[in-house]
Homo-oligomer: A and B are copies of this chain.
Amino acid sequence: MKITYKGDYALKAILDLALHYGSMVTIHELADRIDAPIKFLEQVLLDLNRGGFAQSKRGKVGGYQLAKQPSQIKLGEVIRYIDGPIEPIACTEREYTQCRDIYRCIFRSVWQRVGVAISEVVDTLTFADLVKMQKKPKQSLHYEI
């Protein structure tokens, strides 16, 4: 998994739309709040429309809004849609099942475990959770190893 800037902007855009759920947000406001180049952000939003995450309206009072409730959008969905599979690939590319080398199965099981571990984070968090976290910063995600 690698989160590109495109993915990063996409996630922040959706969080912003979630925080303003119910009203229209223009791309100017969005670009300003998430600090993204506006022309690049246009493409991201276009993708989010096509992915069924956002809805747009043109014209004078146009803008973007979420196409679903924040609680219905998982982080993982957006990440996968924008930046591709969550697993640390490199091997699936070459049709891993056809690999000549003899250690393929071992590492496949490792990457699968990693994939599950990542999924347990990004597929259990919705944007409704992030909204809560944003509003109550004390309830942020804490961790002790």
What residues make up the interface of A, taking CB atoms closer than 8 Å to B? 1-5, 7-8, 11-12, 15-16, 33-36, 75, 88-91, 99-103, 105-107, 109-114, 116-118, 120-122, 125, 130, 133-134, 137, 140-141, 143, 145
Contact = CB atoms under 8 A, between A and B. Distances in A.
Contacts of A120: 117
How many copies altogether?
2
Contacts of A134: 103, 106
A-B pairs, top 10 by smallest CB distance, nearest first, are A117-B117, A3-B90, A35-B101, A109-B141, A35-B100, A3-B88, A2-B2, A34-B101, A8-B90, A113-B121
A114 B118 contact: yes
Contact of A101 (B33, B103, B105, B112): B33
